[in-house]
Amino acid sequence: MGAEKLRNKSDCDDFYIIAKSDAEKQIANAKIFVTAIESLIFEGCG
């Protein structure tokens, strides 16, 4: 399940339990995103 769907699903509940595998996937995706942004910041866009 994608991050947006997880967030939307959890918005409607007071408490939402996420599967460990889903959390691990989102953490991995976040690390890829952060690495890409850091690369843009420190190395520039071109």
Q: Average pLDDT of each block of 10 consecutive residues along the chain (46 residues)?
A: 70 79 94 95 79
CB 1 within 8 A of CB 22: yes
Q: What is the pTM of this model?
A: 0.64
- Cα separation, 24 vs 19, in Å, equals 9
pLDDT at residue 9, as a whole number: 67
DSSP the chain: --HHHHHHHHHTSSS----HHHHHHHHHHHHHHHHHHHHHHHH---
Amino acid at 30: A
What integer pLDDT is reported at residue 36 of this predicted model?
95
CB of 29 closer than 8 Å to CB of 2? no
